[in-house]
Chain A
Amino acid sequence: NAGVTQTPKFRVLKTGQSMTLLCAQDMNHEYMYWYRQDPGMGLRLIHYSVGEGTTAKGEVPDGYNVSRLKKQNFLLGLESAAPSQTSVYFCASSFSPVPGLIYEQYFGPGTRLTVT
């Protein structure tokens, strides 16, 4: 049981390049989340998903897109990277026994992204 895994662990991009961050969980959780963490800012929610095939915007969605084609995977895409997207990105998942009822969130190890 690996929990929540993220790929890659580190990445350096040039402005304007694109990339996809992959999050995978093996806990059969319904809900998945993408956060970014910047120094002194705490965690901010980018996008989240309440189930396979559904996504929704979080607090800071601009410049990012997401997809959840399979229940266990949640992808975060940057179409045209900007220096302001330099951050640490965390994926999380949580169990939801019934819609609207959410238990604790489990986090991945993070992806450290630098955009130059």
Chain B
Amino acid sequence: DAKTTQPPSMDCAEGRAANLPCNHSTISGNEYVYWYRQIHSQGPQYIIHGLKNNETNEMASLIITEDRKSSTLILPHATLRDTAVYYCIVRSQGTYSGAGSYQLTFGKGTKLSVIP
């Protein structure tokens, strides 16, 4: 899986859009960009994923650059409940073989603090 780089921390005012960047310059053609988050003491939560087109769901939007070397997760109206560590992960959807390829590897992520 390609390596990702994220800023260690960010602040965002409540009600404003939170834009979380991720660099993945070594991404290969069959690798997707996934975003998860982990709110303190809770299980990781899947947010969104995409291959090359921008994606939107009820939680967030994912913007992937044309060269696919970076992406941005957008939380359109951040609330205090969005305070969490956000992880950008790049991986293929298949074919999987061996334990190492099944494991979901989280890096250090970005600690997003939503400020009242």
Contacts and interface: CB of A to CB of B under 8 A. Distances in A.
Contacts of B105: 42-43
B108 to A, nearest CB: 8
Contact of A45 (B34, B44, B46, B102): B102
Given A42-B105, A43-B106, A100-B94, A105 B46 contact: yes
B104 A105 contact: yes
A104 B33 CA distance: 11
A109 B42 contact: yes
Q: Is the interface of A mostly helix, strand, loop or mixed?
A: strand
B99 A45 contact: yes
Interface stretch (A14-22, A52-60, A72-80): A52-60
Contact size range, A = 20 to 34
Contacts, number: 63
Q: Interface SS of chain B: helix, strand, loop or mixed?
A: loop
A114 B104 CA distance: 24
B46 A104 contact: yes
Contacts of A92: 43-44, 104
A58 B46 contact: no
B97 A100 contact: yes
B110 to A, nearest CB: 14
A100 B96 contact: yes
A59 B99 contact: yes
B44 A58 contact: no
Contact of B96 (A90, A102, A105): A102
Nearest to B101: A102
Interface of A: 4, 31, 33, 35, 42-45, 48, 56-59, 90, 92, 98, 100-110
Interface of B: 34, 41-46, 49, 93-97, 99-100, 102-107
